Chains A and B, each alone.
Chain A
Amino acid sequence: EVQLLESGGGLVQSGGSLRLSCAASGFTFSNYGMSWVRQAPGKGLEWVSGITGTYDSPYYADSVKGRFTISRDTSKNTLNLEMNSLRAEDTAVYYCAKGTSGWYSVCESWGQGTLVTVSS
């Protein structure tokens, strides 16, 4: 059974940094594309970043490019999101999601999410 467990959320001041992690189990982690998707309070889904399987190529939404960095640690089966220069508009629940293949466009399984609150 696929399990994804996010951690690292919390309250941070504007301009600050935070590192989110997603512990993955139940599948061969290195082979699959993974995404971070966020949802601001009362709003819809927004894709934040994705990383391909095997070659770990990273991709970012324009809204976070240059500020966020996605990575994976295959020795720990963990997906990470390093978030710098945080802004109030980054406040959201952040979900990690598993792709259906080496790509990440289809979010087949989701974690329960971790809340990031950026105070201005």
Chain B
Amino acid sequence: QSVLTQPPSVSAAPGQDVTISCSGSNSNIGNNYVSWYQQLPGTAPKLLIYDNNKRPSGIPDRFSGSKSGTSATLDITGLQTGDEADYYCGTWGSSLNVVFGGGTKLTVL
């Protein structure tokens, strides 16, 4: 069982918006920055968001992140079929370990 809790799956139609949540505690999200990763089928993960809401170069602004208290969210607007992937949140845990959420499978209907 993962330290950070994500919904196992979400789905929406092309063009719609979707939100993926990531819930933790004061030991992790509550006192640290959150990152988000996208893993397309059969590929390595890719950094989407870091420091709660910053996008690396090349990541479209359709992807945005936020954090409030011990929870974080990833918002994806204007869904495209190419967004169909697994999404993971991550942050510092205890003892300078890194913790990830269990992952959310996004299906674009």
Contact = CB atoms under 8 A, between A and B. Distances in A.
Q: Do A and B come from one complex?
A: yes
Interface of A: 35, 37, 44-47, 50, 59-62, 95, 100, 104-113
Interface in B78-96: 86, 88, 90-92, 95-96
Interface stretch (B15-23, B39-47, B60-68, B69-77): B39-47
Taking residues whose C-beta sits less than 8 angstroms from the other chain, chain B's interface range is 20 to 34
Contact of B92 (A60, A62, A105, A112): A105
Interface of B: 2, 32-33, 35, 37, 39, 44-47, 50-51, 56, 86, 88, 90-92, 95-103
B97 A44 contact: no
Nearest to B99: A47
30 contacts: A37-B100, A44-B86, A44-B88, A44-B101, A44-B102, A44-B103, A45-B45, A45-B103, A46-B100, A47-B90, A47-B98, A47-B100, A50-B96, A50-B98, A59-B95, A59-B96, A61-B97, A62-B97, A100-B50, A105-B35, A105-B90, A105-B91, A106-B47, A106-B50, A106-B51, A106-B90, A107-B90, A110-B45, A110-B46, A112-B44
